[in-house]
Structure 1
């Protein structure tokens, strides 16, 4: 399209003639929320809800200041600073309809690695009422099998010795909360939006464990004053591609360096416990409940585990995207069998949810041909995901005498995936995992010791000592190493 316009505040009025843009006065916004970890999901979810609230109800005190704590955050920081915090949300419907809209709820972005004092000051500012987090499972700094805080992390050791020069989320939170306490300001709420069961409780336990070691008196104040609501978040948000960037420029004449794509479905369930006020998100569809745990367990054990089931098995079979898996009837049947026979029986009752309808909706969402979520993204950081999403279900089924065969095939396939790094056609697989070296080393021993992979207690706990699991796993992993025809083994189970 001719006359391409760069996305920024100066061009916003002209861009509004092309696609919907914020109608509210962004210059009047203050940052009532600070968000650590500005990735695609945050921008498609919390920032989307916030943009709707700002636009529909005229509130000005709930803008978002983004925070990046890692060098890896520099690219998104630089792009969003150049675009005045503006970005395009591209919603892709299963029928091919595409809705694009400019989001304006991000009002600032700071990099902790460049200026930690500025980040501490922003979080300690009286305007800040909520600090929210999407820092991935690995950002919480605990050992998967024990749940214990990892004090051996060199950055944590640094923060204990130098509390005024933080590096991790814990150092920044304690430094800013100390500043608020000393200034007589109320505490902010810490709101995790990560896919971790009981995410608020985990944030509470990890921060308090750290704070007690760093400053016991501050830890007592945090325990009394800071609230940590559990939340359940849901919206499939694939990695932005060059094709998405080109689409905006070719179709609408808008140059956005990092738009976000997502599905139309969105859900957010939040425990209504806050330290210092909150936005009225219920006006834009957020569900506030007294106890979010049944909802988050349902989502983690069905959606997130289902994604991993498709991702790991699909990677070895050779499927490149999640929707491609769902075009394969074997994968559809296997996924539903896992959800029906292993995941659903260990779920709690979820008020207002028809589980069969929910599972049907998941299959439909995964199959959206316009999302094309890559298998490699879904498999990324499996060492942080599978203990919470899948292995926990397997352990509960072992305890109750339930089915374990579907999850066991996934774990055995994960071993082969970590060892060989190729699919059944010998095509290379992209493996993205902070533990990739450890996973590869353990899996490589499988042909000498078939239990080597599952003896990693940090991931699997005592699973290798369970006779029922051990016998099934050894038989399964042996078959896969003899012939990586994953689809055949899936068909044998269904």
Structure 2
């Protein structure tokens, strides 16, 4: 079967939406670090809308910091891929043309730096997951092997921070202004954390460069929201039948789209507000609501569902007990929020539950469960800290942590540390060697990158109880009893 490419666009079914603009007229105004499925289903779609509106400055150069897989998927397709939006009513297919090319950083770091230094580039966006920032306790981890390498070899970096600094240094040396950097990862205060990491790294290389970035650059906070499950071979095969050609770079997603951006730029930008994003001067309330309600519930479903053999999110909330589990978790987390104007929390919760229940997405709990040590601090532990400091009992938040601990134990027991897909996999595996539940709880709470020291005395007894119950009793009964306490 033919691959999707520019040559076959005219042959696609009439109901498949195609780029209406001249792709040859696009300029590359965006460099995206970490060009996975989420970027292609989220930020790239907004840049596509800018191109459709006639602003040809916003083509995307994707950068893979690890593997050549996405480049190898897109290159034979002229950078084109299908965006498949699915819900209970059916699916809509749209061909996205905003991605002009993909660079593979390990193959040619100089090409990435040169792209960052292009006068046409005004924005750098990132979706590199929480662990990609190389942070420890909120600050750049100078013991991280990639950061150590990049300080020694700044002209051939490996890390996202190293590439940003190298690109900014090249722009400064060439008399160009800096680009605006937009972190699109689920980190609270993502722009500030990235700015601090970049300045810390730059300061180790060239203090004048660090001062220039601090004075002239911009790192707005952002919040992104769209559920993007990993596409499967079955998805690719079904789409091939639907459109008459094979698309190995397809992405599937839901109709919902949200991008909230702090209105602080140092460079030209698309008309974000007209294109569907929200500009604000206060990002934190939006960020906290999304992290603690959507992402927090996703983690809860991933670990609880994983323990009882539920493979997909929609299957979990199809259970009356599963929906009640999520609602009870939200009842706790919502008390820690200060919703911004324009966000009705009751309506937001109802909309989230409807999104979780979407049977067409088939969002796998195993996909969500990865990198728990990086995700849980902002999704579950942060609201738990707020409640415990007020003296509020938090059985659901505590039970999610206990479920994660048992999930880790079962994964290690059945496959060893390699199946955890977590940057702290080795330490988590060692913790499982402890003989008693209390010893495993104590060793887990000693993970200071996850648990603030002030939280440990308050959390130790309740987490020990919850974890012991999960270890001693029937898992389903223990999980679904928690919301009745």
Q: Under TM normalisation by the shorter chain, which class is it?
A: over 0.9
Task: Tell me which of 32, 36, 39 is aligned to 1:35.
Answer: 32
Shift of 1:12: 2.0
2:426 corresponds to: 437
Bigger drift between 294-303 and 153-162 goes to 153-162
Task: Tell me which of 269, 276, 289 is aligned to 1:298.
Answer: 289
CA distance in 2, matches of 1:487, 1:264: 35
1:360 paired with 2:353, answer no
Task: Tell me which of 87, 91, 103 is aligned to 2:81.
Answer: 87
Contact persistence 1:67–1:110 (CA under 8 A): yes
CA distance in 2, matches of 1:469, 1:486: 23
Task: Tell me which of 4, 12, 20 is aligned to 1:7.
Answer: 4
1:454 paired with 2:445, answer yes
When the two structures are superposed, what TM-score results if normalisation uses the length of structure 1? 0.94
1:68 corresponds to: 64
3-state SS in 2 of match to 1:245:
helix
Q: Deviations over 1:328-379 (max 9, x none)?
A: 1111111111111x21111113111110000111111011111110000111
1:482 corresponds to: 472
Aligned length: 481
Structure 1 residues 298 and 232: CA distance shift in structure 2, 3 A: same
1:46 corresponds to: 43
1:317 corresponds to: 308
Instruction: Map 1:405-424 onto structure 2 (within 5 A).
Output: 405-421=395-411
Shift of 1:464: 6.5
1:58 corresponds to: 54
Contact persistence 1:130–1:190 (CA under 8 A): yes
CA distance in 1, matches of 2:238, 2:161: 39
3-state SS in 1 of match to 2:432:
helix
Structure 1 residues 367 and 86: CA distance shift in structure 2, 3 A: same
Contact persistence 1:112–1:119 (CA under 8 A): yes
CA distance in 1, matches of 2:269, 2:200: 26
Shift of 1:463: 6.0
Contact persistence 2:385–2:455 (CA under 8 A): no
1:168 paired with 2:146, answer no
CA distance in 2, matches of 1:235, 1:187: 29
CA distance in 1, matches of 2:10, 2:322: 47
CA distance in 2, matches of 1:366, 1:240: 17
CA distance in 2, matches of 1:288, 1:465: 38
CA distance in 2, matches of 1:39, 1:392: 27
2:93 corresponds to: 100
2:336 corresponds to: 346
3-state SS in 1 of match to 2:61:
strand
CA distance in 1, matches of 2:435, 2:185: 33
Shift of 1:393: 0.9
3-state SS in 1 of match to 2:50:
helix
Task: Tell me which of 226, 230, 236 is aligned to 2:217.
Answer: 226
Contact persistence 2:13–2:243 (CA under 8 A): no
Q: Deviations over 1:227-261 (max 9, x none)?
A: 00111100000000111111111122121012000
What RMSD over aligned residues (CA atoms) do the two structures have, in Å? Answer: 1.9
CA distance in 2, matches of 1:376, 1:493: 23
Shift of 1:84: 1.1
1:134 corresponds to: 127
Structure 1 residues 484 and 138: CA distance shift in structure 2, 3 A: farther
CA distance in 2, matches of 1:77, 1:446: 47
Contact persistence 2:445–2:456 (CA under 8 A): no
Shift of 1:18: 5.9
1:77 paired with 2:77, answer no
Contact persistence 1:90–1:262 (CA under 8 A): yes
Contact persistence 1:445–1:453 (CA under 8 A): no
CA distance in 2, matches of 1:336, 1:463: 28
Contact persistence 1:232–1:269 (CA under 8 A): yes
3-state SS in 2 of match to 1:81:
helix
When the two structures are superposed, what TM-score results if normalisation uses the length of structure 2? 0.95
Contact persistence 1:49–1:284 (CA under 8 A): yes
CA distance in 1, matches of 2:6, 2:13: 11
3-state SS in 2 of match to 1:269:
strand
Contact persistence 1:40–1:260 (CA under 8 A): yes
Contact persistence 1:416–1:443 (CA under 8 A): no
1:122 corresponds to: 115
Unaligned 5+ residue runs, structure 1? none
Contact persistence 2:199–2:210 (CA under 8 A): yes
Shift of 1:484: 4.3
Shift of 1:480: 1.4
CA distance in 2, matches of 1:412, 1:168: 33
Q: Deviations over 1:89-145 (max 9, x none)?
A: 0000123x11011000101111111111111011001000011100100011112xx
Shift of 1:9: 1.6
Shift of 1:431: 3.4
Instruction: Map 1:455-474 onto structure 2 (within 5 A).
Output: 455-462=446-453, 465-466=456-457, 468-474=458-464
